[in-house]
Amino acid sequence: MTETTEPDVTIDSRDATCPGPLMDLIGRVKTLEPGTVVELQTTERNSTTDVPEWLEEAGHDLLGIDERDDHWNIYVEVN
Amino acid sequence: MHRIAIVGAGTGGTVLANRLAEELQTEIEAGDVEVRLITADPEHVYKPMFLYVPFGKKTVEDAKRPVEELIDRRVTLSIGRVIDVDTDRKKLSFADSSVLAYDQLVLATGATLEPEAVPGLAEGGHHFYGPDGAERLRDELAEFTEGHLVLSVVGVPHMCPAAPVEFVLMVDDWLRERGLREDVDLTYTYPINRAHGLESIADWATDLFERRDIALETFFNVEEIDPDDEVIGTVEGNELEYDLLVAIPPHAGSDLVTDAGLGEDGWVDVDRNTLEATNAEDVYAVGDVADVPTSKAGSVAHYEAGVVADRLASRVRGQTPTATYDGKTVCFLEAGMSEATFIEFTYGEEPFVREPSKPLHWAKLGYNESYWLTARGLL
């Protein structure tokens, strides 16, 4: 995933503590069509491991993780 | 006259009103300040008491006292339902069409339960987060002698994050005391990859669950309940059968908040240290409705109320407010029917979980009684 990727949906979970970002993602993914690309913004380092683990469990695709100056963008494709 | 309006008379609103009455005693008696506490419900409810109702250890009535008995005589009490908050014109509108102007506003409207957000949950699940649910669960548990009891945390965030762990440890002990544990399977489910949001609580609970034969299901996000076949279906594509489902329902904030543009999902966006609303001037939030990165717990509402009381009193006196909230959270956790532990932490800290003991259990029961002093602003 590169910085030019345009997500269909952006979830801003910056400043939320664990498990906030993952729960924000789960809540939204339930409502989205297959093929939707989601950008999850998080300042919680644990999200970079918890989110991929959940995607594996739930059968969605991790497209990539970008580290920015003060947060991470996690890109997900809904299946 | 400087008018301070507080909406909601739960722990946060009631403690705040009483602290302000104390701090601004002179100004209130001189007629320079009014502290008005507004609530649709004339009864104050201490929700942590509901945890004990399913086991017959407390009644719903034990959790309630009239608000007017708890507040300082210098507080003006208004019983009425606020239906609109206009932060530009600094006015509150009520269901009876009356309007109230304020100079400083504090929202303390709490959290509400939304079981209907998950199909089948209201029909198929029990809970102990409200008076009616706790009483129904008590009646159901009294008759439950065998089968699979599932405690499922469906909604996060929810009030009192420790309570689901406490409930499952208490029901384990309670069933053992009654000689029924061998005929009952217990399962605890949680949405993320461990048993609790806080890692230290998750580690502590996981160890206890193993020792006490309580099954743990993680990454378990409930999508729907089939109340007829008694099956839980998850977002992850799994199914779990139950005979008695005790679920923590999804929670929501207040429509007042969303409609006033103060925050999404009914939680007020605030500065986590000053508790001042991000999207409006002279508006604060305390308790469950304030969107801060710690637990939705009574202790949080209590400590936040102390900070906001200090800040409001400084404002009234023309001083620069300096009191700040550091995320202080204190919880007693029951580890069964006769032992408890205790945790304390601030923003970003992992609590240390002490070995459970009888004295800490007694301390928790003792605090439940002395809570009424907290509500009065004395403890």
Q: Average pLDDT in the B281-300 region?
A: 96
Give backbone dihedrals phi and psi of B96, rounded to 5 degrees, phi first. Answer: -90, 15
DSSP 3-state assignment of B126? strand
What ipTM was estimated for this complex? 0.87
Task: Flag whether residue A23 sits within 8 Å of chain B, measured between CB atoms.
Answer: yes
Residue A16 lies in a domain: yes
Residue A3 has pLDDT above 80, yes or no: no
Identify which of A27, A47, A7 has the alpha carbon closest to the alpha carbon of residue B265: A27
Number of domains in chain A: 1
Q: Rounded to the nearest 5°, which phi and psi values hold at B251?
A: -110, 155
Residue A39 resides in a domain: yes
B264: confidence class by pLDDT, cuts 50, 70, 90:
confident
A31-64 pLDDT per residue, tens: 899 999 999 999 998 899 999 999 999 999 999 9
| Nearest one of B250, B249, B220 to B235, comparing CA atoms | B220
Residues B313-359 pLDDT 10s: 999 999 999 999 999 999 999 999 999 999 999 998 999 999 999 99
Evaluate whether residue A18 is within a structural domain.
yes
- Whether residue A2 is predicted with pLDDT greater than 80 in this model: the reply is no
Which chain B positions have a beta carbon within 8 Å of A23's beta carbon?
156-157, 191-192
- Which residues in chain A have Cβ-Cβ distances shorter than 8 Å to B293? 15-17, 20
Cα–Cα distance, B21 to B76 (Å, whole number): 10
User: Percent of chain B at pLDDT above 70?
Assistant: 100
Radius of gyration of chain A (CA): 11
Read off the CATH number of the domain in which A30 is found. 3.30.110.40
Sequence-distant (≥ 6) Cβ neighbours of residue B356 within 8 angstroms: B333, B335, B336, B339, B340, B341
- Position B290 confidence tier, pLDDT thresholds 50, 70, 90: very high
Asked if the structure places residue A45 within a domain, the reply is yes
Compute how many other C-beta atoms are within 10 angstroms of the C-beta atom of residue B182.
10
Selection from B327, B353, B328 nearest residue B342 by Cα: B353
Give Rg (Cα) of chain B: 21
- A67 forms beta bridges with A72
Domains and CATH numbers, chain B: 2-111+253-327 (3.50.50.60), 114-250 (3.50.50.60)
Domain membership of residue A47 (yes or no) is yes
Tokens of B236: 């992850």
Q: Does A34 touch chain B (CB under 8 A)?
A: no
Taking phi first (over 0 means left), then psi (-120 to 50 degrees means alpha), and beta for anything else, what does residue B213 get?
left
pLDDT tens, position by position, B238-247: 999 999 999 9
Active site residue A10: no
A62 lies in a domain?
yes
Segment B210-235, tens digit of pLDDT: 999 999 999 999 999 999 999 999 99
Chain B CB contacts of A42 below 8 Å: none
| Domain housing A29 | 9-77
**Starting from the edge strand earliest in sequence, which strands make up the sheet with A72-77, in order?**
A9-13, A37-42, A72-77, A61-67
If phi > 0 it is left, if psi is from -120 to 50 it is alpha, else beta; for residue A5 that is beta
